[in-house]
Structure 1
């Protein structure tokens, strides 16, 4: 059941900094989410991230993640969602950065299912969206795009009652960086904490041609499933 916006805004104890003082602009849901996390070589990663963004680390480790989910109910404040624009499947390849002591994520690639929402998302956010055919069922994800090919089949397992510090570091991120401008500020987002479950793969084939030398996509170090979160985003 959806939480009222007021309840989401009041739930802030898990955040590393306060939510912005001005009003949020976007509402969206990141539903049926799969996280695959990979430890990578920091020197190789440094070549792929703009220099004004510092690589974030957990115990000296650098990470990238494949995150697959269904974007749902996307709409600006005071409007309503339109089905053919507001709901689409998405897969992103992201890494972890910080700027001015504010940790967040930087996207290496974002694939989205529908052409028009992909175009609008790229124009409105400045993030590297590209259209790719995506097929999703309850326990599978298939992407056949120009930048990546993905075939995943999975089983949801037990709920993780107490996520480890590393699991929280990998999932609880509340700012996005575009990386295009050395003077940029973070794009802030807010949601309640992720509800995480263990995950077992029965099929896992992932290939990003541009990043094959960086990541062993067939062997994630950490993985999770979540039913999703309701997200508020600021411009």
Structure 2
């Protein structure tokens, strides 16, 4: 993969809820199937600090928080991530991502604060014409780093190096990212407000999410290409 962008993802929250595959399947574009682990599909909320995102060869980049709702899919091109939304606190970054990667990025007002009880992550979508979406939660690591087995649920949920996106004309594209394997830790999560599911047409999943934390990783991304 030839790198188009480089960046750093720090203080990553992974929160995943198991759902019936039939909840996810109708929301996917043609050419994608639900990917499951032990019969379950997953809806995941992932938040992090994006640092120094920049095109290849540019010394200075943008930094801003990002929050996304995603699920896991497969196609003839392989397994990957399908995003329902990616909210970000930078209008330039949102415009860049929409243009380069055709991803559903939305402008949002965000605050990410280091506090004694953990990292407080707040987001309020401000994108004109988009549905309202709010998130307010605190998370913190609660243990030592885990060794992630390649067949484990954690690997299924986090070790994804491909994403899929659909153009306005209904064409399916894929993009590739690269980074070292995630260093994951158990984590606690306290959610005060979360309307991301409703904003994307889902009922709120029942039960508690599976929560993991990563201190972060360096990431590169290549150009998207059309899926035949």
Whether the TM-score (by the shorter chain) exceeds 0.5 is yes
TM range (shorter): 0.7 to 0.9
Tell me the TM-score normalized by structure 2.
0.85
Output the CA distance in 1 between the equivalents of 2:91 and 2:36: 35
Task: Find 1:109's aligned residue among 77, 81, 85.
Answer: 85
Specify every segment of 5 or more residues in structure 2 that has no aligned partner in the other structure, as ranges: 126-130, 224-228
Deviations 1:137-183 (A, max 9, x none): 12100112243111101232112422350011100000010133776
Q: How far apart in 2 are the matches of 1:213 and 1:121? A: 25
Change in Cα spacing, 1:201 to 1:183, as seen in structure 2 (3 Å) is closer
For residue 136 of structure 2, give the secondary structure of its aligned residue in structure 1.
Answer: strand
User: Given the alignment, which residue of 53, 78, 82 partners 1:74?
Assistant: 53
State which drifts further: 174-183 or 145-154.
Answer: 174-183
Which residue number corresponds to residue 229 of structure 1? 217
Q: 1:88 aligns with which of 39, 64, 71?
A: 64
Q: CA shift at 1:192, angstroms?
A: 0.2
Q: Structure 2: how far apart are the matches of 1:159 and 1:205?
A: 28
The 1:45–1:214 alpha-carbon spacing in structure 2 relative to 1, beyond 3 Å, is: farther
Equivalent residue for 1:8?
Answer: none
**Match of 1:28?**
7
Match of 1:143, SS state, is strand
Other-structure match for 1:144: 124
> Residue 174 of structure 1 corresponds to which residue in structure 2?
161
Distance 1:203 1:44 in 2: 23
**Unaligned 5+ runs, structure 1:** 1-19
Per-residue CA deviation, residues 28-84 of structure 1 (Å, 9 max, x unaligned), is: 1111110100111221211211121111111111011000011111111111223xx
- Residue pairs, 1:42-81, within 5 angstroms: 42-81=21-60
User: Whose strand fraction is larger, Structure 1's or Structure 2's?
Assistant: 2
Partner of 2:199: 210
Q: Give the secondary-structure state (helix, strand or coil) at the position aligned to 1:66.
A: strand
1:201-226 CA-to-partner distances (Å, cap 9, x unmatched) read 24442112334643337x44311111
Deviation at 1:195, TM superposition (A): 0.5
- 1:175 to 1:97, Cα distance in 2 relative to 1, 3 A: same
